[in-house]
A and B are shown apart, each in its own frame.
Chain A
Amino acid sequence: MIFEVFRQERRGQPFAHAGSVDAPDLEFAEAWAREQYGRRQESEALWVVPREAVREVHDFPDELNKTYHRVDGYSLKAKLKEARERAGTAAP
């Protein structure tokens, strides 16, 4: 069975995919993962997950081009210039 291993380098950091191990069961998979990713104290924690348990999700279409919920939907430069001119101020 293939188990995917995710590793956290330091407390508080996200778990990132590190690789996979081939083991007959979860207990063995943990032992392999410890040897591969923890024996020099390089990891804070590991997640060992059967590959089948991982649902991969791809493709996030944006047919309506919804820029209003992204930062690139807001170009303030021209408006700010106009507002400053109206107020008679300069950029701080």
Chain B
Amino acid sequence: MDARTQEFVEYVQGGGQVETGDWMPDEYRAKLIKFIEMHGNSELMGVLPEREWILRAPTLQRKLALTAKVQDEVGHSQLIYRVVEDLGKPRAACLQDLVDGKSKFHNVFHYPTKTWGDVGVIAWLVDAAAIISQKALLKCSYAPYARIMKKICWEESFHILHGRDVILTLMNGKDEQRALVQEALDRWWGPLMTFHGTAIAADEDPMVYWRIKSQGNEEARQQFLDGYVPQIWELGLTVPDTELRKNDDGVWEYSEPDWDELKRVVTGHGPMTAERLEFRRRLLEQEAWVRDVVLAEAA
């Protein structure tokens, strides 16, 4: 490692932040692009499972809230792709790589949304897991990314409340509705437990090394369990893991999550991967004329 890179590493590890125009090692730039692009992809792909329920929402209020959430997430992807663009990869290239299956998006967005219970579980627990990662990104060494995370976290907190409200309403309803939530939770628990990634030690995690992330994967998962398992239990719901318990030292124990499934899903072999990427590809083509007209008029 050359002296300039060494100095850069010490700077970011000491809490220093980097701006767009600053010098940065190529490896850091490449890691940033990959990480932030995947985040942008996830925001964009993450609206598809929920989109399917806009027309089937049980009340007008729910329909409006869900539409607002979808708008928020698409807005996040726009902000995030802007950050990637300033690092050197154009948005059009990000979208092309996404639909070509060359880049990744988060595991939880590869699964189907079978019932209205899924909509509640996604908005409450998937967003809760996401906000834990995103809050840790407020300290990201790349300042433009850290700055937009403020707005993103602020909007995510509305999503969690919306999701919890959906779940509470169902839990206060009939037995069929409570069963609907339990069934959704049973299906989502596995993906939630792999969401933060394998328990790689923070000091071996290249994202932590460059201070792109400041939190280890297991630390994030423990925070999720600590914050949300009690909230799940207090509603009379069962977490589908007989090994799940909090030890006296405050650490949550759980059954080994299915890491093979995580790998399969994020490499493009999830139950809904092909269908959702095809949908995104079709939209990209269908809407090309809008971009052409807007750019032609402005020219």
Residues of A participating in the B interface, judged by any CB pair closer than 8 Å? 2, 17-22, 24-25, 28, 32, 35-37, 42, 56
Contact = CB atoms under 8 A, between A and B. Distances in A.
Given A22-B91, A56-B21, A36 B298 contact: no
Contacts of A35: 71, 75
Contact of A24 (B85, B154, B295): B295
Contacts of A32: 78
Interface residues of B, number: 19
Question: Helix, strand, loop or mixed for chain B's interface?
Answer: helix
Nearest to B75: A36
Contacts, number: 37
Interface of B: 21, 71, 75, 78-79, 82, 85-86, 91, 144, 147-148, 151, 154, 294-295, 297-299
A21 B298 contact: no
Contacts of A25: 298
A19 B85 contact: no
A52 B249 CA distance: 55
A37 B151 contact: yes
B79 A36 contact: yes
Given A35-B75, A37-B151, A56-B21, A20 B295 contact: no
A19 B143 CA distance: 11
A91 B144 CA distance: 48
Contacts of A19: 79, 82, 144, 147-148, 151
Contacts of B294: 24, 28
B138 to A, nearest CB: 14
B82 A21 contact: yes
